[in-house]
Chain A
């Protein structure tokens, strides 16, 4: 199995929803369709290129300012993954800017755009990029995200969505971003 397929299988096993998108417009449509409330869109390089926030707003999304009080009210957060890890179905998000953390922790739904070509084999293969992130910035908050938030703390029964997002939607794109360090 190639890395892309391996990633898809593992991500689905972890409880993520995978969405094939032909282009950013389709991703925008999907997000709007699945957001029945305020949406957080922290700024990122890839988002800026296509002015994603603007596109979302035009398509009818209610954009909220990304700050703490608004974030607490939001239902959706939209981010873009630096890259993904195939064997565990994991997304890697450079979350040092607080905006990214607010958008990926507080809302019930988390939408992540991912370029299909940015997938490494496993946690060890991810170290190269992880190290470069550490070399680029002196301070880091880097998140590996695998499926929605979960717990098995009551009678060991797996239950989805305890403190973090209850849904994780991965929007798969081509020609979205090629730099493994870019959000």
Chain B
């Protein structure tokens, strides 16, 4: 393992050993979702975010023009504008300006851009004292730390730590009472505004139409820092540009709501030009920071990220962030967007570990108010970084030599089924593995490879006049781990007079390779699968695994987009691919065919990430479960990731996966359900493994299995 990876692993372990942090982030995440929903009540979030996406794309495509308009207007209003290409460039300009003006003390309001450039260090090197006045930033400055969240920088700290820091500052014993500590900050920082010769702020928006900026804040320190000192420096990322005041209003409408669930922050401050200051006028300097933003905007795969309005929501909902915090899952910028920004602002090396720490659950995508496909971009970035670094030796060989050769791959899986006998002792699950494999089964059992894969036991179906002929894309889990899920699907489909074929040439969907950054193997597998699945021209291709669904619906096209004839075939396959529950409910409209089956139990439902946030399917399986007579009880966080993430939980970051699984198991047990249903063999593997290890009574079932069991029981009753 690389030194860097080892160091990163150590930081993960340390974070995971701080349950107080996880508890705090979980509580915040829960409260956030509730207040966010309230804040958006009556508004159409999807429409709002589409609008912001379109507006920001327009800015990206016409950046030079809007920027010139902004600069012209700002200068006409008396501002001095400086365009800084790099962080060093920006720091130098600001430090030199301060030195020239004889500034001793600067008061800063919160600015992520200044964190990005490490401005404080540059100022200190020039003998200028930067005083952070945002409460969270001040706490961090006193403790010598960096923010762990973009909106709530000190979210990882507790009041006792703050009391300790403040006591050192005041020389008195300050009690760990939050209201008191806030008052201490008020008193301590007050004089700073009056003494400082320079105020430094960021900005949430730069408005081309006016040449003004807007600051969206709560504490009031930004108003003081931009009012009292003689000089105001606004350090602004060039991606904060919007064309008009209406566009600014649209961003402000969603920003606080999506950041913290607040309808609006206490203050929105619109500043244009050299406004009155004391007896004269303000010396306003606007420093426009590029530092990788132009490269990001020009990057074919990542450019959507330029839409980001820095609300921080993509971290709030991220299970990895909630498990390890922003210091581990981020660099300066944190969470999903942090991965991408880090790669462009701070270099690929700083992003190489965090890009692998994302489990791919798409929670971030669902809440992003700028409509950015963060998970898709992270995936492409992983590929870029894998290309640069070469992916781990063993793994890449498996992908290239083994998986691309279906017969070899399947042959090895069959051989493994025999070889595993000593560890399975004839059971269907592996509880313990020897030697260095043992961590894999420490906290969950693993399914054994089936004696006979689905492809070997696929039965002849005897429907007289089938209404439809479809094909199943099984995927590795369905084929080699859970073949009975495939035969259950036949049972369910035959009940609806649908015949299911299993094309034998199908191979792994390629996601494991793709998610590890091996696009070449993924592309080869895409071609094999397209040929296999389209061969007999089925009316639909069904899936039981939503990760495969996404591969067939999205990734194949992406892999083959530069090859027109393949692309057309990939699109054809994408068009006819559908998950089993969605097919029954939406296409066949046949949910009622499962009315009131026997074996009713109390069932709770776990949403698989890729089914809910990839395919947009979550109502359908619930409808089937309820129609077939089960009592459906919702768990908390039903759509939170289970921590499987394919190879993520096996070889990538099993410790984080274990943490995320633990949360999920608690939510399941709390419902008191007999059974937890889902529509993903990966989730089944993870949840069954965890529940078995905990010796829980809760059963795990695929929705298709529940339906098949009900049908069988109904038949048995009849005869």
Contacts and interface: CB of A to CB of B under 8 A. Distances in A.
Contacts of A175: none
A123 B186 contact: no
Given A101-B227, A123-B252, A141-B271, A155 B24 contact: yes
A106 B220 CA distance: 9
Contacts of A122: 253
Contact of A68 (B154, B189, B228, B272): B228
A124 B247 CA distance: 9
Interface in A124-183: 124, 126-127, 130-131, 134, 138-157, 159, 161-165
B534 interface: no
Nearest to A146: B264
Contacts of A163: 133, 185-186, 189-190, 219-221, 224
Interface stretch (B121-129, B174-182, B550-558): B174-182
A115 interface: no
A124 B246 CA distance: 6
A156 B155 contact: yes
B135 A154 contact: yes
Interface in B131-165: 133-136, 139, 152-155, 157-159, 162
A13 B179 CA distance: 20
Nearest to A148: B266
Contacts of A146: 263-268
A70 interface: no
B634 to A, nearest CB: 26
B260 A152 contact: yes
B160 to A, nearest CB: 10
A139 B273 CA distance: 5
A139 B78 contact: yes
B154 A162 contact: no
Interface stretch (A19-27, A52-60, A90-98): A90-98
Nearest to A140: B272
Contacts of B210: 134, 140
A143 B218 CA distance: 12
Highest count of chain A CB atoms <10 Å: which of B228, B263, B264:
B264
Chain A interface mostly helix, strand, loop or mixed?
Answer: loop
A138 B273 contact: yes
A6 B228 CA distance: 35
Contacts of B227: 98, 101-102, 105, 141
A44 interface: no
A97 B265 CA distance: 23
A109 to B, nearest CB: 13
B245 interface: yes
Give the one of A123, A142, A163 with max B CB within 10 A. A163
A63 interface: no
Contacts of B78: 138-139
The interface centre, meaning the residue of B24, B133, B155, B281 with most chain A CB atoms within 10 A of its CB, is: B155
A128 B78 CA distance: 24
A151 B186 CA distance: 11
Given A87-B263, A144-B268, A145-B266, A154 B276 contact: no
A90 B265 CA distance: 10
A164 B155 CA distance: 22
B159 A96 contact: no
B182 A159 contact: yes
Nearest to A154: B178
B194 interface: yes
Q: Which residue, A14, A90, A151, has most C-beta atoms of chain B within 10 A?
A: A151
B277 interface: yes
A50 interface: no
B223 interface: yes
B163 to A, nearest CB: 9
A176 to B, nearest CB: 24
A154 B249 contact: no
A3 interface: no
B271 A156 contact: no
B564 interface: no
A18 interface: no
Contacts of B186: 161-163
A161 B182 contact: yes
A143 B31 CA distance: 29
B534 to A, nearest CB: 49
Interface string A1-21: 000000000100110000000
A164 B266 contact: yes
A147 B276 contact: no
A7 to B, nearest CB: 12
Contacts of B162: 154
Given A124-B246, A127-B246, A162 B159 contact: no
Nearest to A155: B159
A149 B182 CA distance: 11
A175 B269 CA distance: 28
Nearest to B79: A139
B77 interface: yes
Given A96-B275, A152-B152, A164 B245 contact: no
A9 to B, nearest CB: 11
B600 interface: no
Nearest to A108: B186
A154 B260 CA distance: 14
B273 A154 contact: no
Interface string B19-36: 000001001100100000
A97 to B, nearest CB: 6
A153 B166 CA distance: 14
Contacts of B181: 154
A131 B245 contact: yes
A59 B190 CA distance: 31
Among A14, A104, A145, A162, find the residue whose CB has the most chain B CB atoms closer than 10 A. A162
Given A139-B78, A161-B186, A163-B221, A147 B266 contact: yes
Contacts of A151: 135-136, 182, 218-219
A141 B179 CA distance: 31
A101 B78 CA distance: 20
Contacts of A147: 266
Contacts of A134: 210, 212, 245, 272
Contacts of B11: none
Interface string A73-105: 000000000000001111000001110011011
Contacts of A155: 24, 157-159, 178
Contacts of B212: 134, 140
B270 interface: yes
A145 B267 contact: yes
A127 B263 contact: no
B415 interface: no
Contacts of B136: 151, 153
B613 interface: no
B467 interface: no
B267 A140 contact: no
B250 interface: yes
A88 to B, nearest CB: 4
Contacts of B194: 68, 72
A90 B272 contact: no
A33 to B, nearest CB: 24
B153 A153 contact: yes
Given A141-B275, A150-B218, A156-B152, 7 more contacts: A127-B249, A134-B212, A146-B267, A149-B220, A155-B24, A156-B31, A164-B224
Interface of A: 10, 13-14, 68, 72, 87-90, 96-98, 101-102, 104-106, 122-124, 126-127, 130-131, 134, 138-157, 159, 161-165
25 contacts: A14-B263, A68-B194, A68-B228, A68-B278, A90-B268, A102-B227, A123-B264, A130-B245, A138-B273, A139-B274, A140-B271, A140-B275, A141-B269, A143-B267, A143-B268, A143-B270, A146-B266, A151-B135, A151-B136, A153-B152, A153-B153, A154-B139, A154-B159, A162-B182, A165-B220
**What are the 9 tightest A-B residue pairs by CB atom distance, in nearest-first order?**
A164-B220, A153-B136, A139-B273, A144-B268, A149-B220, A88-B264, A153-B135, A163-B220, A163-B221
